[in-house]
């Protein structure tokens, strides 16, 4: 299974002027934790990281430190996540039939989740990891007035990895570029092209590290994992 990791963003909501994936989480850059999970997922055989070239020296330093057993390719990212994934798809090896796409900022995803998504993807054209919504959701208008309260039994919070047949996802991206669609994830492109997207239950701990609070929560989760496993964090 091939894996693409979008890693081209900045850390504005983190209050940082650099790529947030280079921020340190429990002794390692955030990106390193994501890569370690991919390394431990036996089904993943190739990794592509979409980033800005000015971050590549630091990405290469991380890769040198980790000494992963799997081939890793650095791919120039775009201005948006959508553009970065498009670039990543073009850089996939010719033999790639299916691909998982996993946000670099979701550094707590377990190898088991990655493996589970890879297995399910062998039997469907597209999928996303997601968890059931626990909070009551309100639909609000521009004046901040509640317009609707949807039944949360049918609501799921999308995570990554998301997985797709490469040929179909390339077609969706091409159609999206022609139509000028702007989406926040690849599943939305699949949906707009009337293609089915299957839900694979994700993990409550698979949070996206976006703010300083997220970083503190991620550190707490990692420390708990190390305590349970009896291993050290570095």
- Phi-psi region for residue 15, left (φ > 0), alpha (ψ -120 to 50) or beta? left
Q: Considering the entire predicted model, what is its pTM? A: 0.92
DSSP one-letter code for 202: -
Is residue 75 within 8 Å of 5, Cβ to Cβ?
A: no
Crossing angle (nearest 10°) for helices 81-91 and 166-179: 140
- Inform me whether the pLDDT recorded for 200 exceeds 70: yes
pLDDT, tens only, 22-79 = 999 999 999 999 999 999 999 999 999 999 999 999 999 999 999 999 999 999 999 9
- Mean residue pLDDT across the chain: 93
pLDDT at 10: 66
Q: Say how far apart CA 230 and CA 227 lie, in whole Å.
A: 5
Q: What percent of the chain has pLDDT over 70?
A: 94
Q: How far apart are CA 179 and CA 27, in angstroms?
A: 44
Cα 27 to chain centroid, rounded: 21
pLDDT grade for 227, boundaries at 50, 70 and 90? confident
Longest CA pairwise span in the chain (Å):
53
Alpha helices in 12-141 (DSSP H): 30-40, 56-66, 81-91, 111-121
Mean pLDDT of 82-87: 96
Residues 121-169: pLDDT tens digits?
A: 999 999 999 999 999 999 999 999 999 999 998 899 999 999 999 999 9
Q: Is the pLDDT of residue 233 over 60?
A: no
What confidence tier does 18 reach under pLDDT thresholds 50, 70, 90?
confident
Terminal-to-terminal C-alpha distance of the chain? 28
Domains of the chain with bracketed CATH: 1-125+159-230 (3.90.550.10)
Q: How far is CA 156 from the centre of its chain?
A: 16
In this predicted structure, what is the pLDDT of residue 232?
A: 57
pLDDT score of 13: 57
For residues 22 and 32, what is the distance between their CA atoms, to the nearest angstrom?
9
Contact between 3 and 99 (Cβ < 8 Å) = yes
The predicted pLDDT at position 8 comes to 87
Q: Residue 11 pLDDT more than 60?
A: no
> For residue 12, is pLDDT > 90?
no
Write out the E strands in the chain: 2-6, 24-25, 28-29, 46-51, 72-76, 98-101, 126-132, 139-140, 146-148, 156-165, 198-201
């Amino acid at each position: 299974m091939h894996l693409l990791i979008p890693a081209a963003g900045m850390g504005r909501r983190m209050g940082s002027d650099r790529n947030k994936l280079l921020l340190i989480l429990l002794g390692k850059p955030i990106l390193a934790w994501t890569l370690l999970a991919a390394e431990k997922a036996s089904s993943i055989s190739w990794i592509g990281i979409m980033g800005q070239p000015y971050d590549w020296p630091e990405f290469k330093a991380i890769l040198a430190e980790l000494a992963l057993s799997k081939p890793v390719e650095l791919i120039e990212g775009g201005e948006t996540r959508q553009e970065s994934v498009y670039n990543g798809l073009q850089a996939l090896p010719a033999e790639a039939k299916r691909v998982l796409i996993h946000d670099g900022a979701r550094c707590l995803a377990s190898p088991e989740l990655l493996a589970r998504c890879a297995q399910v993807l062998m039997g469907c054209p597209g999928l996303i990891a997601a968890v059931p919504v626990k909070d009551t959701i309100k639909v609000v208008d521009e004046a901040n007035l509640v317009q609707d309260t949807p039944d949360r039994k049918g609501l799921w919070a999308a995570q990554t990895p998301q997985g797709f047949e490469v040929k179909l996802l390339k077609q969706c991206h091409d159609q999206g570029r022609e139509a000028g669609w702007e989406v926040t994830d690849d599943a939305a492109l699949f949906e707009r092209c009337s293609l089915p997207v299957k839900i694979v239950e994700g993990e409550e701990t698979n949070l996206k590290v976006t703010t300083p609070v997220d970083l503190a929560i991620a550190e707490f989760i990692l420390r708990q994992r190390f305590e349970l496993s009896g291993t050290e964090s570095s």
